[in-house]
Chain A
Amino acid sequence: MEHTALLQGIHVKNGKIKTRTLTKATITVRAVIIFLTIFTLIGPFLLKYSTIDWPTAIFYTFDNLKMMFLQPAFNQITFGTAITQIVITLALAFLATILGAFVSFFLAISTAKNLAPASLSNAIIAFNSVIRAVPTVLWVLIFAIVAGLGAVAAVLGMMLHTMAYLTKAYAESFEEIEEGAIEALRASGASWWHIIFHCVLPQSASYLVSWTFLRFETNYGVAIAMGAAAAAGGIGFELFMSSSFYYDLHEVGMITYCALIVAIVLEVIALQIKKRLMTQ
């Protein structure tokens, strides 16, 4: 029989030929998907809802969104104020990014596996994951207890997350540098700092710039949130005032549009930088 020969070594179950065997990876993927699906289906029943009048709530949401997006207007503040506040938000984001980047550079050269001892590297990674686990807004509020609510608390709080994020990104960029390049310098008797500034930094500069700008873009969004949630100033605070204090959705809409335009511009610049630098 030709067919029995053909089926030698082939898995057949219930008269059906199997097209794949289960591997650890496929089993894990399936298990994860099944778990998440079940959790998503059951989850909503585990939450406590205070009574919602759904039809009214949905109606009001659309009504609010209409006011916000279709009839935007400035009432309490002027266009000039909005621009100033956006600049303040950008400045907060910039400070957090630049200070974070500065610290991250030193942390990253102490984390990269090809530059630093494993024990130091692991210690910094552990430290950073604790830092990252705490939400930015909590950091800002914690700093605010000592430094008072305002720019100092906001910048320091945002800086911590920036630092944790950039350290990881920088270290990965450093690790991608060819081992040979570093080895050659080491063999020629160059000191550690020489290696950093003449090999590591020039080789990875474009990645560092790209990651840093990407984080600046993220920090702009974070800075808006901190303005609203931790009264750190900037456009986020104005957003909070006009929605929670004045209930003026027309103005919320206008502010949202202003913030959105800046965000999209930043995103486009980040994409361009990434495209240009990373394809080199």
Chain B
Amino acid sequence: MMSTITLDRPTEQVTSKEASIAAQTVLELRNIEKSYDMKTLIIKDIDLQLKQGEFVSIIGPSGAGKSTLLRCINRMIEPSSGDIIFDGTNITQLSKSALRKQRTKIGMVFQHYNLVSRLTVFENVLHGRFGYKSTLQGILGLYTEEEKMLALSILEKLGMKDHVYKRCDQLSGGQKQRVGIARALVQQPKLLLCDEPIASLDPNSSKVIMDHLKEISQSMGITVLVNLHQVDVALKYSDRIIGLNRGSKLFDDLPKRLSQMDIRNIYGAEVDELIFE
């Protein structure tokens, strides 16, 4: 059997060069704009910098452009203008295949889990390795034993090892989301994009998922960017909060600096129901 599980490596780096890495920028957005019809801007002139291991939440009312912004980062949605510098590369100019290479370093977690429901947990997690494989290897499902061990160790960390051979349509929502996270982690990413990861979950499962995401950013040194609808959750977990309203960034600072006034600005008319909830 193989000796090391490759995933452990980034963790070691964090501990050895903690100080310098803390300042290292993983992602930088410059003047990102998005418009579908050339008239109304969904995303307005966003600048953003994320450092390694940071846990950052984007909050804002529904329709503020949170999902669009997140998908612009890995170009699932093509931004209309601006630059995305990820891991030292400007990915706005990359060709399709080069973009695919970069996407392997960006994991993504979805609100609706986006699993292939008739396949097993194990198979779904291993889908995260496709970016490292040739088309044929992927189609035939030829994974190395190292990759399988990596998938198992991640599933174990997420408490899902007992379910590896279950079909994904037999899992609960919280379990499905953990499979989604495992699939993203198996990519060995530097950045994890989470689009409303707890919006379809009950409070208990939500806590489990958020704890795992926090743990990932702290112990693995992976930058985590989460879209959230709930302000209280964002306050509890984030190193930094970004407030978005109608495509504009209204707030970008530490959670403790988020005032009632800021919340009012970000959420507009929706604010009252949020406070009295």
Contact = CB atoms under 8 A, between A and B. Distances in A.
B132 interface: no
B122 A20 contact: yes
A56 interface: no
Interface string A17-46: 101110100000000000000000000000
Contact of B126 (A6, A11, A19): A19
Given A3-B1, A3-B149, A6-B156, A20 B123 contact: yes
Contacts of B102: none
Contact of B152 (A6, A16, A21, A23): A6
Contacts of A16: 145
B119 A10 contact: no
Contact of B165 (A3, A6, A7, A21): A21
A17 B123 contact: no
Contacts of B143: 19
B148 A9 contact: no
Interface residues of B, number: 20
30 contacts: A3-B1, A6-B149, A6-B152, A6-B153, A6-B156, A6-B161, A7-B152, A9-B161, A9-B162, A9-B164, A10-B152, A10-B164, A11-B165, A15-B145, A16-B145, A17-B145, A17-B148, A19-B120, A19-B122, A19-B123, A19-B126, A19-B141, A19-B143, A19-B148, A20-B120, A20-B122, A20-B165, A21-B120, A21-B165, A23-B167
A20 B123 CA distance: 7
B144 to A, nearest CB: 10
**Residue among A6, A9, A17 with the most chain B CB within 10 A?**
A17
Contacts of A11: 165
Task: Across the A-B interface, give the 7 residue pairs with the lowest CB-CB distance, nearest first.
Answer: A17-B148, A20-B120, A19-B122, A21-B165, A3-B1, A19-B123, A6-B152
B219 to A, nearest CB: 17
Interface string B154-169: 0010000110110100
Q: Is the interface of A mostly helix, strand, loop or mixed?
A: loop
Contacts of A17: 145, 148-149, 152
Contacts of A23: 167
A23 B123 CA distance: 14
Nearest to A20: B120
Nearest to B145: A17
Nearest to B143: A19
Interface in A247-273: none
Contacts of B167: 23
Contacts of A15: 145
Given A3-B1, A11-B165, 19 more contacts: A3-B2, A3-B149, A6-B152, A6-B161, A9-B161, A9-B164, A10-B152, A15-B145, A16-B145, A17-B145, A17-B149, A19-B120, A19-B141, A19-B148, A20-B119, A20-B120, A20-B165, A21-B165, A23-B167
**Residue among A7, A10, A20 with the most chain B CB within 10 A?**
A20
Contacts of B123: 19-20
Contacts of B145: 15-17
A3 B164 CA distance: 16
A23 B122 CA distance: 15
A15 B145 CA distance: 9
Contacts of A7: 152
Contacts of A9: 161-162, 164
Contacts of A21: 120, 165
